[in-house]
């Protein structure tokens, strides 16, 4: 089955990682990895209520990562595996211009 995570950045750059043959992180490990990056990158909740959904966390971590981390092959692979594990979807498209995720 086709498996990938792609990020369309604000500057019209595309970051794509093919996860064919790579195992997603187990759900709890993926959630912890995203939590850690959310804190490390000093992300802010998207919702006024302060509630942070997993999809929101993926969006804000990708946005905060910026071109430096998104261009880092090791970080991008870990992010993609965590995204796939947390969201349980084989194909995830992240659009930072609209702050939307599609599957």
Q: Integer distance in angstroms from the first to the last C-alpha of the chain?
A: 14
**Residue 32, pLDDT score:** 97
**DSSP string across 43-87:** ---SSTT----HHHHHHHHHHHHHHHHHT-HHHHHHHHHHHHHHH
Cα dist from 68 to 41, 55, 85, 86, whole Å: 12, 22, 23, 23
Contact at 8 Å (CB) between 59 and 41? no
- In this predicted structure, what is the pLDDT of residue 43? 94
pLDDT of 23 > 90? The answer is no
What is the distance between the alpha carbons of residues 57 and 1, in angstroms, rounded to a whole number? 26
Residue pair 37/51 in contact (Cβ under 8 Å)? The answer is: no
Paired residues of 95 in beta bridges: 8, 100
Scan for tokens 């595309």, then name that residue.
14
Q: Tell me the pLDDT tens digit for each residue of 29-69.
A: 999 999 999 999 999 888 777 667 999 999 999 999 999 99
Mean pLDDT rounded to a whole number for the chain: 93
Q: Which pTM value belongs to this model?
A: 0.92
């Amino acid at each position: 089955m086709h498996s990938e995570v792609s990020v369309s950045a604000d500057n019209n750059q595309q970051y794509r990682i093919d996860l064919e043959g790579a195992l997603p992180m187990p759900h709890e490990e993926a959630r912890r990895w995203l939590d850690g990056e959310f804190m490390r990158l000093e992300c802010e909740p998207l919702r006024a209520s302060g509630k942070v959904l997993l999809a929101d966390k993926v969006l804000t971590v990708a946005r905060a990562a910026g071109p430096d981390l998104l261009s880092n092959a090791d970080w991008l692979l870990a992010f993609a595996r965590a995204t796939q594990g947390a969201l349980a979807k084989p194909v995830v498209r992240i659009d930072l211009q609209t702050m939307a995720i599609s599957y």
